[in-house]
Structure 1
Amino acid sequence: MIEPPSEPESNGVGQTAARPMRILLADDDQLVRAGIAGILSTVPEFEIAAEARDGTEALELTRRHGIDVALLDIQMPRLNGIRTLEQLRRERPDLPVAMLTTFSDEAYVSEAIGLGALGFFLKSDDPRHLIAGVRALAGGGAAFSPRVGRWLVRQEKSAQLGRSTKAQSAVGSLTPRQRDLLAGIGRGQSNAQIARALHLSEGTVKQYLSPLFAALGTENRVQAAIIAYQAGLTDSSDVP
């Protein structure tokens, strides 16, 4: 479900190859923070610019450090990840935000999707999936690890988000170009990656997104990616 950029490019929020990607990591468990920070710190283009113990700290540090990507634990004291995401969407609507989750957080999944979370990662994820997912987010894509992807599909169905049946039937009426675009979203590709694959300009890809989302009855890339997964538009090799 995730695919790292094939070459250096802008991350869609102003960060380029000229400086490391500044990451905020928010989790109230110090051991979890240390583990994830250790994984991401092995990548030269990543910089753990700030670590927060709760949502209130996460908001303050995001404002202070010019964060490029935020990783938020769903359940934190004072201000949980959902409410933090909600505030970030108001303050930094273009900031890519992913949720750090466990399988016990299912009640929060549909709300996080609706609020615009672009990634979902298990705290026990394979380091390769976490690294590739953060790269995909920074490149303007949506990303979740394979186990989370399968879980999200199940949760999306059980949560009755009110759009799944309509969206699934809509996939059959998409144009070939729209299906190719949806497949790219399902693989976690950024607009720039999709543009290269389809031999289009990035501006044209952006213009195609709104009509595609409208046809599917979705509001964001994660919802579209889930539909791509359900419809079998992502190759099995995309989900190790």
Structure 2
Amino acid sequence: MATSTASSWANGGLQLVNKPRTITVGIADDEVLIRTGVRGVLERTGTITVAGEACDASGALELARRHRPQVLLMDAAMPGMEGLAAVRMVRRHVPGTQVIMLCTPHTEELLFPALRAGAAGFLFKNGEPDALVNAVRAVAAGEAVLSPSATRALVDHFTGADSERRDAARNRISLLTRREQEVLVYLAQGMANARIARLMYLSEGAIKAHVSRLLTKLRCDNRVQAALIARDAALPC
């Protein structure tokens, strides 16, 4: 987790104290009990602050524009603006805000469109509180998250990628250097930068730079979209 450094006097001398950096989050859901519950889970951590709440998709976009939270938790099926359109609008107008979609089992069909629209994560509401907290922290750190059942659905879906989609994905990947393609394979396996760095014997900063370049070349908003291209191309993920 990222930390900030502060100084304090202790035992007669000046010491540096690392303090966890606060993560700002927005919550968009049409059910007030869900919003209240999610707020409680997040704020109990002491390192996550809820910047605002919204009850519909239009309000979610306004929340993102006004407060610019690092992470926006958005219900996949809210009144007002169509949910996927809201994700695209947030990513277009507030690119610094990453979106995690929250859904119930009957909205699972939105998984693939949501990821392609730019969502950085997809979680089911019946998950554990710790999973929600870990997802917020991961997405705020630039990672991507999927619930276990969503991951299984993703793998099943892309096992049978058609040849046209596979060829298109491979053409895009051909723009990457060999090192960037290697990073992409690890990224598509859901690995964080620190672990990729260890496997490739590079610094975490170097991996972060490779990820940034490959996202630009692939014209992707986030790591999830890049992982989808890797799976379309049938890379060894």
TM-score range, shorter chain: 0.7 to 0.9
Secondary structure (helix, strand or coil) at the match of 1:28 reads coil
Please, which of 192, 202, 205 is the counterpart of residue 202 of structure 1? 205
Q: Which has the higher strand share?
A: 2
Structure 1 residue 21: deviation in Å?
Answer: 1.0
Please, which of 2, 12, 25 is the counterpart of residue 8 of structure 1? 2
Structure 1 residue 76: deviation in Å?
Answer: 0.6
Query: What are the equivalent positions in structure 2 for 1:66-105 lying under 5 Å apart?
Result: 66-105=68-107
Bigger drift between 200-209 and 131-140 goes to 200-209
For residues 149-204 of structure 1, the C-alpha deviation after alignment (integer angstroms, 9 at most, x for no partner) is: 11222345679696358769x8xxx9577435532453352x46644664225255
Kept in 1: contact 2:121–2:146 (CA 8 A)? yes
Separation (CA, whole Å) in 2 of partners of 1:96 and 1:112:
12
Kept in 2: contact 1:143–1:188 (CA 8 A)? no
Kept in 1: contact 2:184–2:226 (CA 8 A)? no
Kept in 1: contact 2:73–2:102 (CA 8 A)? yes
Query: What is the identity, as a one-letter code, of the residue corresponding to 1:152?
Result: L
Query: What is the identity, as a one-letter code, of the residue corresponding to 2:91?
Result: R
Match of 2:190 in 1: 187
Unmatched 5+ stretches in structure 2? 5-18
Q: What is the TM-score of this pair, normalised by structure 1?
A: 0.72
Match of 2:45 in 1: 43
Q: 1:20 to 1:182 in 2, by over 3 A?
A: same
Secondary structure (helix, strand or coil) at the match of 1:125 reads coil
For residues 7-37 of structure 1, the C-alpha deviation after alignment (integer angstroms, 9 at most, x for no partner) is: 4259xxxxxx675211001111222222222
Query: Matched residue pairs, number?
Result: 218
Match of 1:13 in 2: none
Structure 1 residue 38: deviation in Å?
Answer: 2.3
Structure 1 residue 132: deviation in Å?
Answer: 1.2
Match of 1:148 in 2: 150
Secondary structure (helix, strand or coil) at the match of 2:50 reads strand
Kept in 1: contact 2:98–2:120 (CA 8 A)? yes
Secondary structure (helix, strand or coil) at the match of 1:163 reads helix
Kept in 1: contact 2:101–2:123 (CA 8 A)? yes
Separation (CA, whole Å) in 1 of partners of 2:161 and 2:52:
33
Secondary structure (helix, strand or coil) at the match of 1:141 reads coil
Kept in 2: contact 1:54–1:76 (CA 8 A)? yes
Kept in 2: contact 1:101–1:123 (CA 8 A)? yes
Q: 1:54 to 1:125 in 2, by over 3 A?
A: same
Q: What is the TM-score of this pair, normalised by structure 2?
A: 0.72
Separation (CA, whole Å) in 2 of partners of 1:197 and 1:140:
19
Q: Percent identity?
A: 33
Secondary structure (helix, strand or coil) at the match of 1:50 reads strand
